[in-house]
Structure 1
Amino acid sequence: MKITKTNFFPIFLPHKHAFVILPEMREALLPCFKSIPTAEASYNYALDFLAESYSKPNNYDTYRNDLIVFFCWAYANGKDVVDITRTDMLAFIKFCNEPPRELQAKSARPVLIINKADEDDLRINPEWRPFKNANPDKPYTRMESTVQKQLSVLSSLFVYLNDVEHTTINPAALALRRFNPKSMDGVALTEQKEKALSQLQLSAMFDTLDELCIESENKLKAERARFLMYLLILAFPRRSEISATLRYSPLMSDFERVRVGDVVRYVFHIRKGKGSKSRKVLCSGLLIEALKRYRLFLGQSELPLPTDDSPLLVRLRAAPHGREAKVVDACISDKQLAEVVKWVFEETALRLDLMEEFEEAAHLRTLSAHSCRHTGISLALSAGRKPELLLHDTGHSTMASLMIYNSSRIEYRLGEVDKIDTVLMDYKL
């Protein structure tokens, strides 16, 4: 088995099987290691680089995908990654912008075929391809943001290789610094897509949730979804901050009681946010009411005590395998969380279709859980919260990064226009 420019091989396996080395992988890698002196060392360092992201499965698999393509391309050209120059990196990007048809698939195919009777019986899926082209009749294209992300991942790899003194160059950083998508074929310029829900979508979503809680046969699924959406909109956490990982699982006691003078308030303590930083988010009255309703439905007290170690978002059924196999009383994973949001958005889109708001429904179907964070922050800014104070709740380190989440929707900007009228009327009086 040989890695060529039209025959790539998944030399890094998905997160779940990260530490597995299949005979097929050895067969593909050994010729490269024998013909390229430093290739084996670079490959092992790349495994170490990926291992540092193991606690974040989504990051791990994102990095892995880019590393597969990069290493295979280098091997196909008879080079190790540490031999790549800035000129080579530009050639690699051009290759990825216009990949051979043999490396494209109409839809994403799993890397591995797993024997259902024996989960340890694995083999590489011969249908796997590194590039996806949903419309094979049209030329393959990538968004400029995809190219930037790829260069950013590779730059991080080279930073790691520099740290371990395996190389002193970073061709990906050089290419990223002078990145110009306008001069590239096969790259579509990224359009600014509205990521926040409109007020119509938001209103329809909350109406849909209340309806589902009444009509759904699975009351737990509906009540959990209702609380989750209130939490996402009103505390704007990232998906990974309220779902379970190998090292972190949110608890009910993360809602903490604080006294401010004579007033008792609640904060939501995100114990492990982005960059392993913690923060405490001020909770609105609506969020606390949603929490009370959810807890009462679960048969718990209205509000948690500091000793409450029950999961924040309970599972509907036990996990089939893993650290918490056969356990129901545990927090859901980020993938399960995304599925809940997708279900809510689809049910809301159906409601919007019945209202003949077809454009709103179509747009909602393109959004993800992260759109709730955009929506919540836009609502907070629209309501008049001071950006410099809001930073503490959002987990952003700079005003510039916060303002990326500020929606340009008309309804989120109307209040500012009305304030001008109020000021002017005061002058006239």
Structure 2
Amino acid sequence: MKDVEQLATHVLALHQPGSSQTPLVSGVLGASNDVQAVAIWLNEFNGATQRNYRKEAERFLMWLQWRGLNGLKQVTRLDIADYQAFLAAPPASWLGHRYKRTDARWRPFNKPLSEASQRQAMIVLNAMFSYLVAGQYLPANPIALVRGKRRGARRHEQLIERYLEVDTWQLVWQQVQSMPGQTKRARDQAERCRFLFSLLYLLAPRVSEVANQSMNSFRLYKGRWWWFVTGKGGKQARVPVSQEMLAALKRYRLYLGLSELPPIDDDSPLLRSVTGRNGVTANMVYRIVKGVFAEVAALQSDTYIRQQLQRASTHWLRHTSITHADEAGVSLKHLSKAARHEKLETTAIYQHAEDQQWHDDWSRLRIIKSGPEGG
């Protein structure tokens, strides 16, 4: 069997979308090998979604070679079962600390995947296989057989768990508000961070949407302010801007030396580098958020909160926003429109309030009753 370094080199082209090795074609796929076919699929996405999908696809292609299987066209239902078992317990040679993808010490995993991560990996691979079947590159999708066994089951069985409780979110916000500003650079970073966290919590954007928007994405429409966003799949949408969000925008713009509110022709970057001129990448947004979470986690004595913050990422704030909006009483219809979900069922998995009420009601059942009747 090839070692991990050889396997990784073989599929490195996945990290170079748009190169001559990954042609984009109209209609059915024009790929001559698995790496090209998967790269074409990956070019349908961008930002964090593309990075996550690429990671899962690369792991699977490496595993195929490691097992000596002859490419995607030969994958069977039994191979999929073997891969699921592999994700739960990859060999030690596949595990390592986090390094850059081009570093020789890089490994596909830093630890075996949890059940939730295993499910996510199979969801991504199912989407990949379905795309390649639709593009007539593959004859069939073996993962469809796995899903077929669950026909009739609810599509979203699990409630979203990757969110911060209200008290934990308050700890994060307090940290953001108290960021030091002894130097000009520190003040620049603190003001940018304050605006970013306001944006992520009050508008529930995806990280790619934050990095790619301009100042005039905030617009006055029918007497009220809205955030006009180009979201997943290039879809246009608008999200209501609350007075709190509007105040955060004004504060950030005034700090940058701009007018309180953006004119319609202000197409400058919404979120700026510390110099205040250039925009920031999705990766920078991710690193800023992870840095704050790490700072808050280091201050916590509660193990659960500390571990939750260590795991949390930028997308957790989108989940947190939607979940807290539900708990605040926002209707499912408006919650779905703000989250920009195509189906109400997708938004419903964020609804935890009913479970909490159910839990409180059920807690009335007690072995030993209190009061006069209980003795």
TM bucket normalised to smaller:
0.7 to 0.9
2:319 to 346, 359, 374: 374
Correspondence 1:307-386 to 2 at 5 A: 307-316=265-274, 329-349=277-297, 353=300, 359-386=304-331
Contact 2:326 2:350 in 1 (8 A): no
What residue is the counterpart of 2:236 in the other structure?
A: 278
Task: Please tell me whether residue 212 in structure 1 is matched to residue 179 in structure 2.
Answer: yes
| CA distance in structure 1 between the aligned counterparts of 2:180 and 2:55, rounded to whole angstroms | 40
> How big is the shift at 1:20?
6.7
Correspondence 1:4-43 to 2 at 5 A: 8-13=7-12, 17-18=16-17, 41-43=33-35
How big is each residue's C-alpha offset from its partner over 1:24-69, in whole Å with a ceiling of 9 and x where there is no partner? xxxxxxxxxxxxxxx953443233333333xx14333333333333
Amino acid at match of 1:252: M
Contact 2:269 2:279 in 1 (8 A): yes
Alignment length, in residue pairs? 344
SS of 2:225 mapped into structure 1: strand
SS of 1:343 mapped into structure 2: helix
How big is each residue's C-alpha offset from its partner over 1:80-117, in whole Å with a ceiling of 9 and x where there is no partner? 3212221232233334433333x32331343324xxxx
Provide TM-score, normalisation by structure 2.
0.78
| CA distance in structure 2 between the aligned counterparts of 1:358 and 1:150, rounded to whole angstroms | 28
> How big is the shift at 1:175?
2.8
Contact 1:268 1:281 in 2 (8 A): yes
| CA distance in structure 1 between the aligned counterparts of 2:59 and 2:317, rounded to whole angstroms | 32
| CA distance in structure 1 between the aligned counterparts of 2:302 and 2:118, rounded to whole angstroms | 35
What residue is the counterpart of 2:117 in the other structure?
A: 146
SS of 1:311 mapped into structure 2: coil
1:253 to 208, 216, 239: 216
Contact 2:206 2:318 in 1 (8 A): yes
> How big is the shift at 1:266?
0.6
| CA distance in structure 1 between the aligned counterparts of 2:295 and 2:101, rounded to whole angstroms | 32
Distance 1:148 1:276, change over 3 A: same
What residue is the counterpart of 2:73 in the other structure?
A: 82
Amino acid at match of 1:386: S
What residue is the counterpart of 1:34 in the other structure?
A: none
2:165 to 183, 186, 198: 198
> How big is the shift at 1:241?
1.3
What residue is the counterpart of 1:50 in the other structure?
A: 42
> How big is the shift at 1:289?
0.9
SS of 1:52 mapped into structure 2: coil
| CA distance in structure 2 between the aligned counterparts of 1:365 and 1:94, rounded to whole angstroms | 26
How big is each residue's C-alpha offset from its partner over 1:307-362, in whole Å with a ceiling of 9 and x where there is no partner? 11121110125xxxxxxxxxx62221111111222233344445x54xx6665445
| CA distance in structure 1 between the aligned counterparts of 2:78 and 2:87, rounded to whole angstroms | 14
What residue is the counterpart of 1:62 in the other structure?
A: 52
What residue is the counterpart of 1:238 in the other structure?
A: 206
How big is each residue's C-alpha offset from its partner over 1:230-283, in whole Å with a ceiling of 9 and x where there is no partner? 11111111112111xxxxx21111111123xxxx3211111x212221211111
What residue is the counterpart of 2:88 in the other structure?
A: 97
SS of 1:212 mapped into structure 2: coil
Structure whose residues are more often strand by fraction: 1
| CA distance in structure 1 between the aligned counterparts of 2:9 and 2:149, rounded to whole angstroms | 30
Stretches of structure 1 that go unaligned for 5 or more consecutive residues are: 23-38, 114-124, 134-140, 180-189, 244-248, 318-327, 418-429
Contact 2:41 2:128 in 1 (8 A): yes
> How big is the shift at 1:193?
7.8
> How big is the shift at 1:302?
0.7
Distance 1:18 1:390, change over 3 A: closer
| CA distance in structure 2 between the aligned counterparts of 1:66 and 1:293, rounded to whole angstroms | 40
What residue is the counterpart of 1:295 in the other structure?
A: 253
| CA distance in structure 2 between the aligned counterparts of 1:4 and 1:201, rounded to whole angstroms | 43
What residue is the counterpart of 1:228 in the other structure?
A: 196
> How big is the shift at 1:215?
5.1
| CA distance in structure 1 between the aligned counterparts of 2:318 and 2:10, rounded to whole angstroms | 35
Provide TM-score, normalisation by structure 1.
0.69
Distance 1:13 1:300, change over 3 A: same
Distance 1:228 1:131, change over 3 A: closer
> Higher Cα Rg: structure 1 or 2?
1
Amino acid at match of 1:313: L
What residue is the counterpart of 1:187 in the other structure?
A: none
Distance 1:358 1:174, change over 3 A: closer
Amino acid at match of 2:36: N
